[in-house]
Amino acid sequence: MTRERLYLYDTTLRDGQQTQGVSFSTPEKRKIAETLDALGVDYIEGGWPGANPTDSAFFEDAPQTRAMLTAFGMTKRAGRSAQNDEVLAAVLNAGTRAVCLVGKTYDFHVETALGITLDENVENIAKSVAHVVAEGREALFDAEHFFDGWKANRAYALETLRAAHDAGARWIVLCDTNGGTLPEEVGRITAEVIAEGIPGERLGIHTHNDTENAVAGSLAAVSAGARQVQGTLNGLGERCGNANLTTLIATLLLKEPYASRYSIGVSHASLKKLTQASRMLDEILNRVPMKQAPYVGASAFAHKAGLHASAILKDPTTYEHIDPGLVGNARVIPMSNQAGQSNLRRRLAEAGITVDKGDPALARILEEIKLREDRGYTYDSAQASFELLARRELGQLPQFFEVKRYKVTVERRKNKYDQMVSLSEAVVVVKVDGEKKLSVSESMDSQGNDRGPVNALAKALAKDLGSYQQAIDDMRLVDFKVRITQGGTEAVTRVIIDSEDGQGRRWSTVGVSANIVDASFEALLDAITWKLLRDGGSAGGAA
């Protein structure tokens, strides 16, 4: 049986940006586009050129992608030609190979929201699509509120689709804009549209999650014959979000009947990057990744029930519908049992630490991790801090230096020009090579801008570490993430610091405290200690 090709259309950068609280910068848009391209989606909708500076800047310096980069806009307005509509012109000027225009298909919206006649709207669709095609671009038509329109006035809704179809639209995308159509109805109406002569090979589906059925609605449309699926990474999007492409990619590739019936642009090799792609987006948004997320969540293959966990040890297929490795995720079994220890030994081996099976230190390390995770630490992304914790427990961590105390001051006051300015200053006292050293730094950068108290602390701490100074001179702080999280019953601050050195190494460390400066200091200390462990030789006489 030949498998039919399904096309994936990602709108994270456009509809995904409609999520409350989400606004991507231009570099973030680039990074997301590159990740989507590496995954293997077919279309990347980059935004609406001309609608805001960020979207315009993204298209001005668009990334080179294998996927078809698509500019979004709307059909021309009534009373002017497609050529003379400056909103449409801005969309075409982005120069993308594909252009997607949204237009009305629901008579009530044409009259209420646009205030034009039904015929004018049909003409706007036809002329706009024809203009895009005449410009040599691939045209897509987003049929807004299509399902509601179809139920209210089937003849008119069909007329709008035919207008786009006959004008040469490559794809006509049936949009459930308000998210209210249930999957059975999505499937039935899609089949009816195909029966009316719009071929399934030119139909797409665009659903929203307002009834938690966006994925099911997309699958129902595919089963009915649609061949393009629109969605967003992690289901970002207006209101409750769009169809979750992360989930759909895994389902279409791995689950029957879809896996045998269809092929998509994502290979099984890139499917292994799915979990990573999902986490990357959360990182950009500084969101806590949703543990319960299908396929990619940290809990997606966590077996908490006692009956489940013991059966999993006999045979993982007993309680897993897919192998977690296929999507780059991992099985989680409560740390207390044998599976937890072998997992730990593997992670230690990755850090170059060999521990024998059954060594009692393994249980101690697991216990310490559990205690610290309860207090708000996380070691998934802070590998360097994990290594230090394990070495401390194993007696394999030298004390290079000791911090006796520190003090940071943040001040804000008027300067001599009567402007409010702020400045931070840090004093750090360390004992190294048996000697007490005081260092002081302020937070001003070379442009004279205050970079804040953590910056001042980092500079003071790295200023004079005696015989270790050389080892840390090529080290710099490249990223700093802050999250308010739960530590026991209190809200605490978790800081993760990414550092880099001249040899191209990059490592992450974590600190937790109710005091954000103190949490940062802890992560900084770990970062320096890890670097000394690699390059600093043996410990000095700190104590």
Of 404-423, which residues contact a second copy (CB under 8 A)?
404-414, 422
* 133 vs 363, beta carbon nearer a second copy: 363
Q: Sheet with 506-513: list strands edge to edge.
A: 476-487, 490-500, 506-513
x/- map, 371-410, a second copy, by CB under 8 A: --xx---x-xx---------------------xxxxxxxx
For the chain, what's the residue count? 543
Of 78-86, 119-127, 346-354, 482-490, which segment contacts a second copy by CB under 8 A?
Answer: 482-490
Return the number of the residue (70 or 508) whose C-beta is nearest a second copy: 508
Q: Which stretch binds a second copy (CB under 8 A): 13-21, 161-169, 192-200, 353-361?
A: 13-21
Cα torsion 8, 13, 18, 23 to 10°: value is: 160
φ, ψ of residue 509 to 5 degrees: the values are -135, 160
The CA distance from 263 to 449, in Å, is 53
Q: Which stretch binds a second copy (CB under 8 A): 38-46, 92-100, 165-173, 488-496?
A: 488-496
Q: Shortest Cβ distance from residue 140 to a second copy (Å)?
A: 17
Peptide bond into 257 cis (omega under 30): yes
Is residue 215 within 8 Å of 176, Cβ to Cβ?
Answer: no
Looking at the Cβ atoms of 455 and 471, the one nearer to a second copy is 455
Between residue 124 and residue 163, which ones bind a second copy under the rule CB under 8 A?
Answer: none
Helix (H, G, I), strand (E, B) or coil at 499: strand
CB 188 within 8 A of CB 158: no
Q: By C-beta, is 236 or 471 nearer to a second copy?
A: 236
Minimum CB distance to a second copy, residue 112 (Å): 5
Nearer to a second copy, 67 or 101 (CB): 101
Of 458 and 471, which CB lies nearer to a second copy in the complex structure?
458
Site string for a second copy, 436-475 (x = CB under 8 A): -------x-----xxxxxxx--------------------
Q: Residue 500 carries which side chain, given as an amino acid letter?
A: E
Q: Which residue has the tokens 């970002």?
A: 236
414 CA to centre of own chain: 41
* Binding span for a second copy by CB under 8 A among 78-86, 265-273, 353-361, 480-488: 480-488
Per CB under 8 A, does 476 bind a second copy? no
Q: Which is nearer to a second copy, 414 or 416 (CB)?
A: 414
Q: Which amino acid is at 295?
A: Y
Strands 420-432 and 506-513, how do they pair?
unpaired
Please state the closest distance from residue 286 (CB atom) to a second copy, in A: 4
Asked whether position 480 contacts a second copy by CB under 8 A, the answer is: yes
Distance CA 373, CA 350 (A): 21
Nearer to a second copy, 117 or 310 (CB): 310
- Other CB atoms within 10 A of residue 452 CB: 17
Task: Figure out which of the listed residues 75, 424, 441, 509 binds a second copy, where binding follows CB under 8 A.
Answer: 424
- Residue closer to a second copy, measured from CB, 373 or 535: 373
Identify residues 280-339 at the interface with a second copy (CB under 8 A). 286, 291-295, 297-308, 310-311, 314-315, 318-322, 332, 334, 336-338
Helix (H) or strand (E) holding 426: strand 420-432
- The amino acid at residue 383 is Q
Least Cβ distance, residue 206 to a second copy (angstroms):
14
Angle between helices 338-350 and 360-374 (to 10 degrees): 90
Q: Compute the least distance from the CB of residue 411 to a second copy, in Å.
A: 5
Which of 126, 143, 203, 215 is the binder for a second copy (CB under 8 A)? Answer: 215
By CB under 8 A, the residues from 492 to 521 that bind a second copy are: 493, 513-518, 521
Phi, psi (deg, nearest 5) at residue 131: -65, -45
> Considering beta carbons, is residue 55 or 393 the nearer one to a second copy?
55
Distance CA 370, CA 395 (A): 19
Question: Is 529 near a second copy (CB under 8 A)?
Answer: no
Number of H helices and E strands in the chain, helices first, is 20, 16
Among 3, 66, 80, 239, binds a second copy (CB under 8 A): 239
Region 96-125 residues binding a second copy, contact defined as CB under 8 A: 108-109, 112-113
370 with 335: CB under 8 angstroms?
yes
Contact status: 260 vs a second copy (CB under 8 A): no
Number of residues that bind a second copy (CB under 8 A): 125
Measured distance CA(58)–CA(54) in Å, rounded: 6
Q: Is 484 in the site for a second copy (CB under 8 A)?
A: yes
> 3-class SS at 322?
coil
Rg of the chain on CA atoms, in Å: 28
Who contacts 261 (Cβ-Cβ below 8 Å, separation ≥6)? 1, 3, 4
Site for a second copy in 68-87 (CB under 8 A): 74
Tell me: does residue 17 bind a second copy (CB under 8 A). Answer: yes
Q: Does 184 bind a second copy (CB under 8 A)?
A: yes
